[in-house]
Amino acid sequence: MSEQMPKPLRVGLFVVVASTVVLGGSSAFAHKINVFAYAQGNEIHGEVYFRGRIPAQNAKVTAFDPEGEKLEEVTADAEGKFAFQPRFRCDHRLVVDTGDGHAAEYTITAAELPDDLPPRPGDSTKSGPSEPKTTASPPHHHHHAPATLPNGKKLQEMIEAAVSRQVTPLRKQLAQYEAKTRLRDILGGIGYILGIMGLVYYFLGLRKKKTPDANPTNPTHQTNN
Amino acid sequence: MHICEGVLSNSTGGIAVLGAGIVLTAAGTAIGLRKMDYERIPQVAVLGSALFVASLIHVPLGPTAVHLVLNGLAGLILGWAVFPALLVALFLQIVFFSFGGLTTLGLNTLTMALPAVACYYLFHPAVRSKSQLLVFSAGFAAGATAIVLAAVLTALALLIAGKEFTTISQTVLLAHVPVAVIEGLVTASVVVFLRKVRAEVLEAPLLVSHRVEVPNV
């Protein structure tokens, strides 16, 4: 009896390993749709992809403002990329729904968007365009910058563009890293399943011990349990 | 195949569907646990792992990405015990990767496990036949049918939840046609292989009655 138990285990293990090997070679670990976006110049650029960098073609991306009102709707291209010009300087919540129960979202904060966009009508909390430029930055630049450098606004735009160029790949990488299905997690999951199996065995073993004891010397053993 | 958290919980119809999913999955799991005897626990666990891993591996296909489900194979081997196996696998997918969601766990388990059980009853006799062609065909049919039925159930759940899901349901159905073919091929090859190497695995759901009849040696 106990001799037979490892057999199904071994065969089942084969199934796991085989399916992992067969499919793991040709593909990335993936599931769950992801969306990533960043502001560049006066546009919002973004990508939609499944786990493992598989682009979600023609995915529909909808941008909502913080109140949940629809601002924009774009469709991703064949590479899963999309871009649009924001009309207002407010938080943009980008929601992707592929229509088959997979959904994801990503929020671009107002601070990432260019200063010269008008704030969302009715959003009186921040006066987007004027605040950062007129207060600290321009005088600061005038102090230190020689006359040959572009003026404050231009310089700030250049810096923003440069920083965005440098930082965007990093942020992309970070988003991808978070989205990746890691082998560790998979092994962890399998470990949990084996652990549950152990628990089931434990409790069944307890039950077996309590009831008849199923010993060969006892002729009056009850069959039900 | 997973229905995401929050997709259905907005409408009363959706909540009803989610509730029905939970109740029916609980019932299925109870039956599965009752039918699962001591010797088959490792099998259930290992196929649970296979289910857990299979749907993590995505292959790009056209505008979307597809993955194996392996519910047909699990159904053939486990019978009703596919319910607890899938429940655990899906639960761990939520915990580790936030696929699906806790509220949809019942419904997602049901839409995948019920077709698996159906395939067990439909194709199990053929899989045990002597003709290799029949075994292969039955395996293919089981793999493909389990996927199609699961997609139909998912679409049905979305439909019952509300009219606005009509197009979504069509998307779900269409997207699973290629998956069904691939799944059929994979299931068929695994079943043929198992028949050759470890035929007793496919007899497993009947082990109980065999054991009762044949006294221990």
CB contacts of B45 in chain A (<8 Å) are: 12, 193-194, 196-197
Mutation target to probe the A interface, by most A beta carbons within 10 A, among B9, B53, B95, B103 is B53
Instruction: Please give the pLDDT value at position A100.
Output: 56
Chain A residues within an 8 Å CB radius of B89: 189, 193
**Whole-angstrom distance, CA of residue B187 vs CA of residue B76:** 9
Torsions phi, psi for B49 (to 5 deg): -60, -40
Q: Do A29 and B57 touch (CB under 8 A)?
A: yes
Chain B residue closest in CA terms to A52: B58
Residues of A in contact with B186 (CB under 8 A): 19, 22
In angstroms, what CA-CA distances link B36 with A123, B1, B44, B208?
61, 26, 8, 9
In this complex, do B41 and A197 lie within 8 Å of one another by their Cβ atoms?
A: yes
Q: Look at residue A128 and tell me whether its pLDDT is greater than 50.
A: no
For residue B80, give the DSSP letter.
Answer: G
Closest CA of chain A from B47, distance in Å: 6
**Closest partner residue to A193 among B92, B99, B198, by Cβ?**
B92
With a pLDDT cut of 70, the percent of chain B lying above it is 87
Indicate yes or no: CB of B190 within 8 angstroms of CB of A20: no
Tokens of B157: 């759940």
> Which among A222, A2, A10, A213 is positioned nearest to B217, based on CA atoms?
A2
Given a cut of 80, whether residue B214 has pLDDT beyond it is: no
The mean-pLDDT minimum among A100-109, A128-137, B141-150 falls in: A128-137
- B29 with B113: CB under 8 angstroms? no
Check pLDDT > 70 for residue B70: yes
ipTM over 0.90: no
Residue in chain A lying closest to B34 (CA): A225
Residues in A closer than 8 angstroms to B216, CB to CB, are: 1
Distance CA A157, CA A44 (A): 15
Interatomic CA distance for residues B209 and B214, integer angstroms: 9
Query: Residue A176, Cβ neighbours under 10 Å: how many?
Result: 16
Residues whose CB falls within 8 Å of the CB of residue B36, separated by 6 or more in sequence, listed in order: B44, B80, B81, B84
Quote the pLDDT of residue B73. Answer: 92
3-state DSSP: chain A helix, strand, coil percent, rounded to 5? 40, 20, 40
Spatial separation of the C-alpha atoms in residues A60 and B202, rounded to whole Å = 44
Question: Which residues from B are below 8 Å from A51, CB to CB?
Answer: 58, 65
How confident is the model over A47-60, as a mean pLDDT?
77
Amino acid identity, position B37: D
Rounded (5°) CA angle B42-B55-B30: 45
Nearest CB to B190 within list A15, A102, A185: A15
- Check whether B93 has a pLDDT greater than 60: yes
A45: enclosing H helix or E strand: strand A43-50
- Is A87 within 8 Å of A70 (Cβ atoms)? no
CB pairs under 8 A between A and B: 170
Cβ contacts (< 8 Å) between B67 and chain A: which residues?
Answer: 30-31
Smallest CA–CA distance, residue B165 to chain A, in Å, is 8
Question: Over the stretch A177-199, which tens digit does the pLDDT of each residue have?
Answer: 766 656 778 888 888 888 888 88
